[in-house]
Amino acid sequence: MSKILITGGAGFIGSTLANYYSKNHSVVVVDDLSMGKQENLIESKNITFIQGSVTDRNLMSQLLEKQQFDYIFHLAAIASVADSVQRPVETHLVNFDSVFYLLELVKKQSGLKRLLFSSSAAVYGDEPTLPKQEESVIRPLTPYAIDKFSAEKYVVDYCHLYGVPTSAVRFFNVYGPNQNPNSPYSGVISIVMDCYKQLSKNKNTFFTMFGDGNQSRDFIYIDDVIKALDLIVNSKETLGQVYNVGTGNSVTLNELIHTIGKLLDKDLPVNYESEREGDIRESLADISKIKGIGFEPKFDIKEGLRNYIKHEL
């Protein structure tokens, strides 16, 4: 039974990971509940929940001095790009400083098997060459992307310089059950699903499409993400490495809405508005590197949506 720390463990990705590992391992979750919800975590004697922020240095140092973790997943973040533009200083404290401080804390721990850091496809910015390889041009354009990229660099550097066992992932567009739809910057699929729920109560519900709907994204289902993370932390060749976590396929938002409509046998009214400032037109991962450690996405967009619908609607 390993000891696992998951920061941001009440959020969408973190809670799914915590619930998954709690079957066979002891999991400690730290979350300030700014976006996450404690109800996302299943009732389990193997999960310990601590409400607090990763920016609280006393909390983090006490936690890591008291307990020796085998694995640490640092997922806590201000997850919205737009929010980071509104609050660059707060974003920096959460998305960069907390990582730096955590690296210093784990530097002293000899038993750690892996620290995994969650970076983002945002680091590639609007450079148009597709698909994005880990070695592609990096053009971080927002406080969110700059912090993710610099934190990711430190994470990798601490492995090479000090022998801290680290890896980083660049998430593309992750979707699935328990993704919070309630912020304007929530994942688009969670917003569409929420619209469908509202539609059954209110016939006037519609989905707001920002732009012409021809922008595309590489959507990856949460179960595939969990599999990718588990593979990375259990492989030696991933030490000090960064991996794209996507499917290698993309769909346009118009195609997405059409597919969901077909699966539910009901059309969702769509209102087209002007595109969001700074919106990336196309996003697509090259996943050759992660395939090299045995990763193969199991869910294409249709299969993923089918599963999501089974859980949520």
Residue 28 or 35: the one with the smaller Cβ distance to ligand UD2 is: 35
Site residues (CB under 6 A) for ligand UD2, limited to 152-191: 173-174, 185, 187-188, 191
Task: Please tell me whether residue 217 binds ligand UD2 under the rule CB under 6 A.
Answer: yes
Q: Residue 122 or 169: which CB sits closer to ligand UD2?
A: 122
Nearer to ligand UD2, 127 or 237 (CB): 127
Under rule CB under 6 A, residue 250 binds ligand UD2: no
Residue (112 or 188) nearer to ligand UD2, CB: 188
Q: In whole angstroms, how close is the CB of 146 to ligand UD2 at the nearest point?
A: 13
CA 246 to chain centre: 11
Asked if 151 interacts with ligand UD2 (CB under 6 A), we say: no
Q: Does 114 bind ligand UD2 (CB under 6 A)?
A: no
121 lines the binding site for ligand UD2 (CB under 6 A): yes
49 belongs to the binding site for ligand UD2 (CB under 6 A): no
Residues in a beta bridge with 166:
115
- Minimum distance from CB of 295 to ligand UD2 (Å)? 19
Q: Is 79 in the site for ligand UD2 (CB under 6 A)?
A: yes
CB 168 within 8 A of CB 152: yes
Total number of residues binding ligand UD2 (CB under 6 A)?
Answer: 21
Measured CA to CA, the distance from residue 221 to residue 305 in angstroms comes to 8
Q: Is 144 a catalytic residue?
A: yes
* Contacting residue, 5, 41, 78, 81, with ligand UD2 by CB under 6 A: 81
Residues at the interface with ligand UD2 (CB under 6 A): 79, 81, 120-122, 173-174, 185, 187-188, 191, 208-210, 215, 217, 253, 276, 279-280, 283
Supply the residues annotated as catalytic.
Answer: 144
